[in-house]
Chain A
C-alpha cells in the first residue's frame, strides 16, 4: 500500500474541535453578568471620579433624608450621601474577595492534585483534614478564627481562603482521580516521566477548565463571605462605606429610614448575581 493510501485509511470523519469558550458570546445571562461585574470593578477603582459627594463627608444638617433629586439614595444618620457611599463601597469587597478566591484556588488545586494523583496515605490524611475544615460552616469557622486573630484585610483574605479551599480541593481531587485512570497517564509513566511532571504537565492542563470554573464560583462565594463577615462586625472597620458594614450599622434605622440599608443591599445583590452568572456560564460551557 502506498504512503498516500496509508495516510488516508482512517474511517470516520474526524470531529471538529468543539466551540469552547467562544460560544459564551451567545449566552445572555453570561453577558449581562459579565457586564455587571465589569461595572463594579471599574467602579471600585474609579469611584472618586464618579461620586457626587465625598462618601465620608458628614453633614449634620442633612441626616436621614429620603431619596430626592439632590441625594438619589438619600442620606444616612450622619448626613452622608448614600449614593456616594454605595459607589465607594465596592472597593473593600472587591479587594478582599478576589484575593481570597485566588488563594483558595491555589491552595485547593495544590491539595487536590497531590491527593488525587498520589493517593494512598497522603490522600487519606489530606482528605481527613479537608473534611475537618469542611465541618466548619463558612461563617462559623471565620467567626472563630477572626475573633482570635483580630481583623485586618490580610486576616480576612487568609481566613476566607482557608474556608473556601477545601471545597476546591475536593472538586480538583475528583477530577484528577478521573484523569489518573486514563491510559495517557500510564503511557507517561511508561515513558519514565516523574510523578511531579505528570501532575503538572499532563494532568493539570486537562483539569484546567474545571479550575477556571472553580475560580469564578469561589469568587462568588468569597464575595458572599467577605460581605457577610462585614455585616457580622468581623470585617472592615468604620467608617468604611463597605456594604456589609453599612447594612449592619443602618439596621437600627430599618423602620424609619430603610433606604440606608436597602441600597447597599441591592448593590451587593447585583454584584453577587453578576459574579454567579459569569461563574455559571463558564461552568456550563465547560461541561458541555
Chain B
C-alpha cells in the first residue's frame, strides 16, 4: 500500500507514557510509538493488564483523573492531540477520532432508543435537523449491514441481539466519518458465528472507508486476519511491531513466539500440538523496572536483559523489535510437541449415561425448551466436549448432570446404576463422584475464606473421615501446582488462573469420577488458558477422571476433548471423535461453526459459510429439523416437516440430518476444494 508522502499520517504516536496514581505510581504505558496511515489497519495485541484500554482512552483524551500523561506526543492528522484545549478535543471526538468501546450491551444507554443514539452523533457534529439525522442514521445502519434499519432504529438496546448492538456501536462511530477509528475488542463475548459476521463487516468496511483503523484485541487470530500491521503490547511496552504476516510467520520477539504457542488451533491436521503456557507472571506495573519487561519469563534471557531496557531495534523496513537478542529469536522452537493422543481406556460400559434429557422453563405465559431430548454417554477416562452457541442449552445440560438444576424429563445413570437428578437425593458417593468447575473464577470461590480453608472444607465433605490431615491438603494443592504459601491467601489476592486452579483442586478433593467443566477458561487470558487446559489434560491422564467440557470455543474444545458433541437450540445435532468432527462429512451447523473460527495463519481459501436468517426464538423452535431455517444445505419440505434421523458415520461419529454421510461428505468436500460456500437451494420465509 502506498503512503502519500505529503499527507501526514492519520495517527502518529511517539514515545507515549501514561501512568496512574494508585498506591504509588502504576506505569500503564511506557514509551509507546506507532503510526497508522489513512486506509491502514493496525492491530494491537495485548492481554489483560497490557495497557491497551489505557491507550485507547488516551487517544480519545478521556483518561480518568488519576491518570497522568508522563510524556510523548500524539498527532492526529498532523494536529497535536495532547496539547489541544479541551474544547477543541471535544469537537474532534467522534468527528475526527472515534472509539467503538468494549462490551456493546453496557455501552448503549438503556433508556434511549437506538435511533436517537445514532442520530445524536449527526446532530452534534453536523448540525442536522432531527428528520435529516434520522435518515442519516438509517443509512449508516445499512452500511453496517443491519437488516430492516427502520425497525431497529425504533428499538431499545436490550431488544437487540449482541451482534446487532455491536453493529450499532460501529455505526455510531462511523457516523461522522472519522479519520481514525478505534475498535476495542470488537468481538469479545460474541458467539463464534456472530463474531465471524462482525469481522466480515469490518473487512468490508476496510474497503469502503478511508479511515485509519486501530484494532485492539487479545486474539491474535483476528488481528492476523484483518490487519496490515500488528503490534504486541506487553506491560505497557510495545515489544514488537511490523507487517502482520511477517510478525506472525517469523516473529522476532520471544513474547510473540510465546504468545503464538498458547493459541489453540483448529487446523484439521491430526493431533494438535501441545500448548505452551508462558511461565511466570507479568511484571508489577507499580515497581521500577530497570531491564526488559519480559525478562522474567523469557527463554532467551541473559544478564544484560535485567539491566538494560532494550530500545526498538529495526529488523527490517517498518518492523521493529524491543529485544537485545532479536536476531536469535528464530532459533526458538515455534512448533510444539505433538500430543500423544493416548486413547482413553474403554472398559466397554460407559461411566455416565444420559437418556432423553429435556428441560423446559415456564416463565409466565412463555414456554422455553432449553434442552430437548439429549442423549449421550461419557466413557471412563474420556473428555467429552460439548460445544454450542448461546441458547444452545449446553449450560443447562451441564447443570442438570451436576445436580444443580432439575430437568423436566430424562434419566441419568452412573456406573450402570440410576442416579437421581436432584442433588439432595443423590447418595454421598455419587456427590463425590460428580463435581463441577465453573466459568467465573471470581464468583466461584468464597471471598471470605482462605484457599486452605476452601480446600480443607471440600476434603472434609467430599473425602470423608478417611483423609483428614495436612498430607491430604498438600497432596491436593500440589495436584494443581499450588505452593503451601498460596494456601494462606484469600481469593482476592489470587490471579484468574490461580483461582481456577483452586476451583479445580476443590472439585478433585474427593477423587471424582466425572468433572463437569462449564466454560472454565473463557474468562482467562490466552497464556493462562493454556496452562489450565494442560492441567485438565494431565489430570485426566494421572487420575483417570472423565470430563464433560463445555465451551463455545471450538479450538479450545479440540485441544482437550476426545469426543465432541455439538448442540443447537437445545438439541444435540452431532457427536463424534474430535479428530474427525471438523472434517466432512459433518452436520451443516458444525460446518458453519468451523468456517467461522479464525485460523492462524488466516486461511483465505476456506469458504465462509453464512447461516441464513436470525436465530429462532427458543420459545418457538422450528418444526422438523431445528436448523432448517438457517441451513445452507436446506433440501426442502422434508427438512421443514420431518425430524432428521441419526446418520451413522465411522468410529461412532453420528449426526442428525436428512442427507446421508456419503452425499454430504461429497458436497462439503467439493465446496471446500472450490473455496466456495454452499448456496441455499430454496429461500425459506421464516
Contact = CB atoms under 8 A, between A and B. Distances in A.
Nearest to A202: B446
Given A8-B280, A9-B280, A13-B495, A190 B402 contact: yes
A256 to B, nearest CB: 55
A201 to B, nearest CB: 9
Contact of B449 (A8, A11, A191, A205): A205
Contacts of B650: none
A184 B499 CA distance: 12
A288 interface: no
Given A186-B404, A187-B503, A11 B527 contact: yes
Nearest to A191: B461
Given A10-B281, A14-B493, A187 B436 contact: yes
Contacts of A184: 443-446
A189 interface: yes
Nearest to A184: B446
Contacts of B494: 14
A11 B278 CA distance: 8
Contacts, number: 118
Contact of B435 (A190, A193, A205, A208): A190
B423 interface: yes
A191 B456 CA distance: 12
Given A12-B48, A184-B443, A7 B481 contact: yes
B436 A190 contact: yes
Interface in B548-601: none
B359 interface: no
Contact of B443 (A7, A12, A182): A182
Given A11-B525, A17-B490, A189 B282 contact: no
B282 to A, nearest CB: 6
B521 to A, nearest CB: 12
A9 B404 contact: no
B462 A9 contact: no
A202 B483 CA distance: 25
A9 B531 contact: yes
Given A190-B431, A192-B428, A7 B482 contact: yes
B450 to A, nearest CB: 12
Nearest to B480: A6
A121 interface: no
Q: How large is the interface on A (under 10, 10 to 19, 20 to 34, 35 or more residues)?
A: 20 to 34
A191 B462 contact: yes
Interface string A190-210: 111100000000100110100
Nearest to B403: A190
A208 B535 CA distance: 35
Q: How large is the interface on B (under 10, 10 to 19, 20 to 34, 35 or more residues)?
A: 35 or more
Contact of A13 (B282, B462, B531): B282
Contacts of A190: 402-404, 423, 431, 435-436, 507
A1 interface: yes
A206 B282 CA distance: 30
B490 A189 contact: no
B122 to A, nearest CB: 39
A193 B461 contact: yes
B481 A191 contact: no
Contacts of A183: 438-440, 443-444
A247 B616 CA distance: 71
B478 interface: yes
Contact of A9 (B279, B283, B284, B449): B279
Nearest to B48: A12
B393 interface: no
Contacts of B423: 189-190
A13 B281 contact: yes
B481 A6 contact: yes
B302 interface: no
Nearest to B447: A206
A190 B23 CA distance: 39
Nearest to B485: A7
Contact of B495 (A12, A186, A187): A12
Interface in B461-509: 461-462, 478, 481-483, 489-490, 492-498, 503, 506-507
Most buried by A among B428, B458, B535: B458
Given A17-B490, A205-B448, A11 B495 contact: yes
Given A13-B49, A186-B404, A191-B457, 6 more contacts: A7-B483, A13-B495, A187-B444, A189-B404, A189-B423, A190-B431
18 contacts: A6-B481, A9-B277, A9-B278, A11-B497, A11-B524, A11-B527, A12-B49, A14-B493, A183-B439, A184-B443, A184-B444, A189-B404, A191-B431, A191-B461, A193-B461, A205-B448, A206-B448, A208-B448
> Closest 5 A-B residue pairs measured CB to CB?
A6-B481, A205-B448, A11-B528, A183-B438, A182-B443
